[in-house]
């Protein structure tokens, strides 16, 4: 890895499914193969060993699959009451691995497009794809990943799961538009922030968690709880990401620290500080936007 993974003490959830994640990564590399050389190099740029990022979403999804599976006994409230009778556990797990792969493909596609929009120079500790291949190839590589994700999704032949993951793509676009078109008033609003964050970050986690539960044969209630779980993890993930923008290093983040602050985004620490002290918000914005005084802005937030 180009940058450090967080430490979880004696039980590291990433290690619990490490082998399976390695095979997901290997399948991902193969499933985006194309005979068109430029497209192949671009599409595979962030799937190469060492450029894979944290693989947070596939890890979370496979851990959820394990917790719901019949292999690992579940508490009574998770017992399966409408599992299709003829689905073999190994086949069930294989289909859940496909969801982990599709989710990562959609995620990487959104990173590629996001970096074009933001004119980013770094991602995952490497040069951003757009700064190596140019914007046009970066956009097309993202489109290609979405196309391959759609083919894998269709192969699962489950219309509800297809709908869930397709909704994510719409939500990602909506989140980006909400961010781009934020007014000064929106930038002051925690509600607007949570709405945008649901679309940009949490929808992918919520809908893919629900897909894992559905493909694990779980009932409606459990599938809906899985959705809620993913939504909360997604919101929490973004809050931590926002704090790391202030406190993390380039090594940890894979991109320069204070990136969000400098690009004028209202992030969770800024909004919570402003909630306590409304007079601070405008001050913080002015400090880093107009005066570029990042250190003073950071001091005000914390």
Binding site residues, ligand GRG, CB under 6 A: 53-54, 56, 106, 109-111, 113-114, 117, 124, 142, 146, 169, 172-173, 176, 200-201, 238, 241, 254
Q: Output the smallest distance, CB 100 to ligand GRG, in A.
A: 13
Q: Output the smallest distance, CB 54 to ligand GRG, in A.
A: 4
Nearer to ligand GRG, 226 or 235 (CB): 235
Question: What tokens does 163 get?
Answer: 């709908």
Q: Output the smallest distance, CB 67 to ligand GRG, in A.
A: 21
Nearer to ligand GRG, 187 or 222 (CB): 187
- Indicate the DSSP class of residue 156: T
Nearer to ligand GRG, 36 or 177 (CB): 177
Q: Output the smallest distance, CB 204 to ligand GRG, in A.
A: 8
Burial class, 161, CB count within 10 angstroms (exposed 0-12 / middle 13-18 / buried 19+): buried
Q: What is the dihedral of CA 45, 47, 53, 54, to 10 degrees?
A: 170
Residue nearest to ligand GRG as judged by C-beta position: 53
Q: Output the smallest distance, CB 228 to ligand GRG, in A.
A: 19
Nearer to ligand GRG, 202 or 284 (CB): 202
Report helix, strand or coil for 123: strand
Q: Output the smallest distance, CB 75 to ligand GRG, in A.
A: 29
Q: How many CB atoms lie within 10 A of CB 17?
A: 20
Strands 122-123 and 126-127, by their bridges, are: antiparallel
Nearer to ligand GRG, 4 or 282 (CB): 4
Picking from 287, 226, 221, 219, the residue whose alpha carbon sits closest to that of residue 82 is: 219
Nearer to ligand GRG, 144 or 227 (CB): 144
């Amino acid at each position: 890895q180009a940058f450090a993974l967080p430490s979880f003490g004696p039980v590291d959830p990433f290690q619990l499914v490490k082998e399976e994640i390695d095979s997901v990564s290997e399948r991902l590399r193969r499933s985006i193969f194309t005979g068109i050389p430029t497209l192949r190099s671009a599409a595979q740029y962030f799937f190469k060993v060492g450029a894979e990022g944290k693989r947070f979403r596939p890890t979370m999804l496979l851990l959820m699959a394990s917790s719901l599976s019949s292999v690992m006994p579940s508490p009574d409230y998770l017992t399966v009451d409408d599992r299709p009778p003829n689905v073999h556990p190994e086949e069930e797990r294989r289909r859940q691995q496909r969801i982990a792969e599709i989710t990562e493909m959609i995620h990487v596609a959104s990173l590629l497009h996001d970096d074009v929009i933001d004119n980013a120079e770094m991602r995952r500790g490497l040069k951003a794809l757009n700064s190596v291949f140019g914007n046009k190839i970066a956009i097309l590589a993202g489109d290609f990943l979405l196309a391959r994700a759609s083919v894998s999704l269709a192969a699962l032949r489950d219309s509800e799961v297809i709908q869930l993951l397709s909704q994510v793509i719409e939500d990602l676009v909506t989140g980006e538009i909400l961010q781009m078109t934020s007014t000064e008033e929106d930038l002051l609003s925690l509600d607007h922030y949570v709405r945008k964050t649901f679309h940009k970050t949490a929808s992918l986690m919520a809908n893919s968690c629900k897909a894992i539960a559905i493909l694990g044969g779980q009932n409606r209630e459990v599938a809906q709880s899985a959705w809620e779980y993913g939504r909360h993890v997604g919101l929490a993930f973004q809050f931590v990401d926002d704090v790391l923008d202030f406190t993390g290093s380039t090594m940890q983040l894979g991109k320069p620290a204070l990136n969000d602050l400098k690009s004028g985004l209202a992030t969770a620490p800024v909004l919570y500080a402003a909630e306590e002290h409304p007079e601070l918000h405008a001050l913080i914005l002015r400090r880093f936007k107009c005066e570029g005084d990042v250190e003073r802005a950071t001091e005000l937030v914390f």
